[in-house]
Amino acid sequence: MQAIKVENLSKTFRVKRKEKGMKGSVKAILHPQTEEIRAVKDVSFAVEEGEMLAFIGPNGAGKSTTIKMLTGILYPDGGHAEVLGVDPVKKRRQLAYRIGTVFGQKEQLWTHLTPYDNFRFFGAIYDLSEKETEARIDELLERFALEDFINTPVRNLSLGQRIRCEIVASLLHRPKVLFLDEPTIGLDPVVKENVRELIRQMNEEEQTTIFLTSHDVGDIEKLCRRMIVVNAGQIVLDDSVEHLKRHDPQHSLEEIIVDIYKSEED
């Protein structure tokens, strides 16, 4: 069964343009100019339940915009998306109970509270009973090795510890689909490896569908069987990681991906 179904999804942003210098600033007040940027253009794909998909591309390719449309945060201008059979735009709050999100560059935890208080908070937000929340915290506490800092305010945690807590907060309500937007950004190699292992374990044990965006080839190689490459808002490749590596055995996956990006630029 398909967990995510996307057909001709599009999103256009209108951004301000200003000529350089003071003259340009004055001109922008009198004659404001805007430019339309098509962040996502007619994107179509599907993700099976329990699949781990890498959705990659260079900066500004439209990856995060796609995730935000799939989670109901941004409204698409065209096309249609379904996540777990639900239209994210029409039923965002209903969908929120069944998905989890981790944006590596943003924080969802309350920094002045401890991870434990945060988890209890998220448990209540997702309508889990106190008993269910406590049981789930105990389960994830062990799996993600949080014992040593569960009662330390989040603001005092290291980045690696915080990211682990961010992932746990997203998993408390047992989401069926987990959207990971650069979850390992800024982490050292050991912590990266640790986080990947935890994601892999969770996928295996709970059959969670993983939708991952990352610039780290290690994340893709170690987690995903399939990858979709987007560039300038369009899908330029949708293939299995294994097939790509077999097709070009002299080059590493990183080199293959860079070649794809470059060929698209040309």
State the binding string over 204-243 for other proteins (x if CB under 8 A, else -). Answer: ---------x------------------------------
Torsion, Cα of 182, 188, 189, 193 (10° steps): -60
Count of residues in contact with other proteins, rule CB under 8 A: 41
Nearest to 146 by CA among 176, 124, 114: 114
Selected binder of other proteins within 73, 232, 236, 253 (CB under 8 A) = 73
Q: Which two tokens mark 33? A: 């100019």
Selected binder of other proteins within 124, 135, 145, 159 (CB under 8 A) = 124
Closer CB to other proteins, residue 105 or residue 252? Answer: 105
Asked if residue 96 binds other proteins (CB under 8 A), the reply is yes
Beta strands in 84-225 (DSSP E): 99-103, 177-181, 209-213
* CA geometry: angle 214, 218, 224, nearest 5 deg: 70
Beta strands in 18-51 (DSSP E): 33-48
Nearest to 177 by CA among 110, 243, 86, 107: 86
State the CB neighbour count (10 A cutoff) for residue 211.
26
Smallest gap from Cβ 250 to other proteins, in A, equals 32
Selected binder of other proteins within 23, 31, 90, 93 (CB under 8 A) = 93
Asked if residue 127 binds other proteins (CB under 8 A), the reply is yes
Selected binder of other proteins within 41, 55, 66, 72 (CB under 8 A) = 72
State the CB neighbour count (10 A cutoff) for residue 87.
14
Asked if residue 104 binds other proteins (CB under 8 A), the reply is yes
56 CB-side CA count, 13 A: 27
Closer CB to other proteins, residue 57 or residue 227? Answer: 57
Provide the binding-site residues for other proteins, judged by CB under 8 A.
13-15, 39, 60, 63-65, 68, 71-75, 92-94, 96-97, 99, 101, 103-108, 110, 112-113, 117, 120-121, 124-127, 181-182, 185, 213
